[in-house]
Amino acid sequence: MFVSWMVLFVAACGLPVWLLARDYRLARDTSVADRHDWDLVDIALVRGGRAGRVRAADAVVADLVDRGVLEVSDTHTITPVSPAAGAVTGMEKVVVEYTGKRTARLWSIRNEVTDNCDEEFDSRYRELRKIGVLLSLSGQGMAFAVVHTAMLFLTVPYFLYWIDGIFTSAPLWLWDGPAGRARLLMFLIFAVPVGLVVWRERLFRMTARSPLGDVVAQRLAATATAADGLGRWVALHGLGTTDPDQDDPRPLILGTSAPA
């Protein structure tokens, strides 16, 4: 009888284990990600995790300030200096137009970008998933794990009973051992594959980096230099700083907002 339960357990866990092993195998080959054109918004989405969109808005603002398109005052208000000279991307145009119409601080710019750049964010997320640095968060993986395990319960016991004498002489639902042990085994057969899928897809996060994404994120941070500019630095590390120098605009940009 124990062998029958082990067959069912291995069958339930086989596919999630294979998916995890494949993810970590693919993480060894970074050539696809190396060919990607990493601008500061893509970097912010990969490095920012749950706060990726907010990190992207911060990076765009910091980059525009660094390039002299925007300026930040002692009261943390952000205004355009030469709006026609620097806004190139759609997200930059949203920021410049918004700051030119009203008194704007970082928190309101974050809201404006996250509310009005959905299509651009969705497009970028699709591309990052396509190259394998982010995982899909559709929930299909969890649904598949539950259905897969349920189907095993419905089919494998019949198969084991059908080949009578090889594994068991009675179907698994006629368990003749302690009821508590049976409940524990049934729980494990459901919980372990579902837990593996939760681990793989990081279902409690808004965005989930794949193992390849973790490698790429670390490499981007390791290869950054001061010459890359303030926007790229913020995309990698956020606006928070513990020891700013006198000319560092990050504390003024951040104001009373929480770092992303």
CA gap 47, 40 in Å, rounded: 10
Note the pLDDT tens digit of each residue in 54-65: 999 999 999 999
Phi, psi dihedral angles at 146 (to 5 degrees): -65, -45
pTM of the predicted model over 0.85: no
Note the pLDDT tens digit of each residue in 205-229: 555 777 888 888 888 888 877 678 8
CA gap 142, 151 in Å, rounded: 14
Helix axes 106-116, 52-66, angle to 10 degrees: 120
Is 184 a residue whose pLDDT tops 50? yes
CB atoms within 10 A of CB 135: 22
CA gap 139, 149 in Å, rounded: 16
CA gap 97, 78 in Å, rounded: 12
